Amino acid sequence: MLELFRCEFRRYALWSILVCVSAICLLFFLSKLKPLFEASTEQSALTSVIMFLGSFLFGFLQMFLHKRKNHWTFLIHRPLSPGRIYLSLMSAGAVCLVIALFVPWLTVTFIHDLFTGHVIDNRHYLYAFFALFTAFFAYLVGNLTAISSYKGSFTALIMLYLILDANPKTPFLQMLPIIILCAMFVYLNLVSFRVDLKKPLDNALPIVLITSVTSFAMIFLLLLSTTIFYHIPRFIAGNHPDNNPVAGSYHALWQFEQGEQAEYVLQNSDYGLKEQLVDQLELAEMEYLRIRPWNFMQPGQVYTRDVQYALEHNQTNSIWQFSHDSMLLEGREKLSSEPLGFLGKNGFVTKAEDIGEADRFTSVPFLVRDRFLVTSDAIYELNYEERSFLIKHQPGAGEYYVSGPQITDLFVYVVTNKQTYIFNRSVLLDEFQVAEAEYVIPHPASVYEIDFAKAYRMVDGYVMWYQGRFLNGYDQSGVHMTYARLDGQIEQIASREFTQYPHPPWIRHFDVMISPLLYLAQVQVYHFLEPEVKTSLYLPTSQVWRQMEKHGTSYVAIALNLISLFVAFILLRRQHNSLQVNISWYLMIGIIGLPALACLVLMTPWTWSSPLTFFRARHA
């Protein structure tokens, strides 16, 4: 094994070292252009594409080159079991990845930590491991794609999206999914690496594992397929709802101007001053409000998820960067990087030894503009010159901020889980004192179900307009209007639920319909990883199912499952699989449904021999 490992490693060693050196140079060059550990969408996207695509291609190429006829014969007939052969090759590949990806990142992080004043936490080192494991996973998927008879193996890459999209609460939860996936795919590669590569999997466990993972991709592909059999034909026929808004539907809102939208929403309302209100909204100044909760950062999360890098104050030439290790902001002079002290929950602290536990933040604050810190329970304002600190505003009992201060031309607003606070701009931005809101407006629905809001400026207050596709529940879109007056009066004007839909239910509920249990599993996994985050993805499943029952798509989902089982029965009959394998398939298709059937079709070797028998007999 060692000899094989060495041989394989030597094949790619030089390339790995070249990539390593290039990566180090590139990273140092980048660090001259901008702070290297400042999360940037472009930097993250480019890094991800290079790392994952590169690793996938490397994994695929490595195995593909071995699959050439004479090479394969030479390789597989070594006095080693196929599993061990694979382990040797994989280990060599892994070491190459370590050299090419892990070493540069670790080196740069270490040098920054030692020789610069930038705040480098354990999470920055953690990122190196995270990146390595995700790249390793992509490499393993590449291996599997090359050696497996399963044509859909590469779709497992979709798991990377799910991994990167989640916002796990702890570093452990950050790493856990990717480590599990890597272990799964090492196993899958081990069982797939055999003398006859064309032989499909014939064990239950690999079938279950690969089907579970790639079913997510199948859902995505099946969703895309609606473009072909639904959307494009309707566009061609000229009756697609996007171009022909359905009267009475939520989507029809977009075709109207400001006043017309109000008229549309108030159509069947019994509000007494309807016409006057419509006229008013036409004339009024309007601001869009983003009500959707921000993704508050988690302590120890990888730096690529950071929303802000630091607070920069030009007048004092200082940068204040939040350290997840110490849960404090650490200040340094911009040019000389001379330390300036710390900033905690109770204010500025000059020396490290004076820091007490009470000073440390309990959650990672948002840094807004150059002087606001926002946690879920307070907005702080900093005065750098005086080194003083003020609690600018706090939410009421039972409330927490879901976003920081957002600035518009007319006002500044902050959203909590229950209400929107609207402040006079100068009060919040210019005056260093506790801010009192001019308006406190309760949300008409859960803050997670409001897509966005609009504030129309009236003579004596604001008319607030809330709209969301799930405002009243799953697939129950609506608009709600509230009049908030300067003297504190809040008047509910109108609420409209849209019962007309542009698309049929089977298109609207497609992602749930084709695999309800997979939808549930996805929700549970996200809920496990980020328990405090509540989005429309986390609507109670019972609510989703009720809505599907109402529109009949629940029955379609059950029917699809049964049909998938029936088709699986027909297909599996033509194969000579073991009972274990067949039971596994029935189980997976029975649980997952149509996506699992798609996996079966892709996993089974097939050719067109005649229109009636498109499966050839499986090799014994």
Find where tokens 């859960």 sit.
446
Shortest distance in whole angstroms from residue 485 CB to another protein: 7
Shortest distance in whole angstroms from residue 482 CB to another protein: 15
Closer residue to another protein (CB): 41 or 426: 426
Using alpha carbons only, what angle is made at residue 93 by residues 87 and 99, rounded to the nearest 5 degrees?
135
Shortest distance in whole angstroms from residue 553 CB to another protein: 44
Tokens of 181: 């996936």
Closer residue to another protein (CB): 120 or 463: 463
Q: What is the DSSP string of 315-355?
A: TTTEEEEEETTTTEEEEEETTT--EEEEEETTEEESSGGG-
Shortest distance in whole angstroms from residue 441 CB to another protein: 16
Shortest distance in whole angstroms from residue 310 CB to another protein: 21
Between the alpha carbon of residue 26 and those of residues 22, 47, 96, the distances in Å are: 6, 11, 19
Closer residue to another protein (CB): 461 or 478: 461
Q: E strands, 487-550, where?
A: 490-497
Contacts of 284 (CB under 8 A, 6+ apart): 258, 456, 457, 458, 463
Closer residue to another protein (CB): 316 or 376: 316
Closer residue to another protein (CB): 457 or 616: 457
Shortest distance in whole angstroms from residue 287 CB to another protein: 14
CA distance linking residue 566 with residue 571, whole number of Å: 9
Shortest distance in whole angstroms from residue 158 CB to another protein: 49
Burial class (CB in 10 A: 0-12, 13-18, 19+), 43: middle
- Taking 3-state DSSP, the helix, strand and coil percentages for the chain, each rounded to the nearest 5, stand at 50, 15, 35
Shortest distance in whole angstroms from residue 487 CB to another protein: 5
The residues of the shown chain that bind another protein, judged by CB under 8 A, are: 273, 276, 279-280, 283-285, 315, 383, 385-386, 424, 426-427, 430-433, 438, 457-461, 485-487
Closer residue to another protein (CB): 422 or 513: 422
Closer residue to another protein (CB): 407 or 567: 407
Closer residue to another protein (CB): 352 or 486: 486
Burial class (CB in 10 A: 0-12, 13-18, 19+), 224: exposed
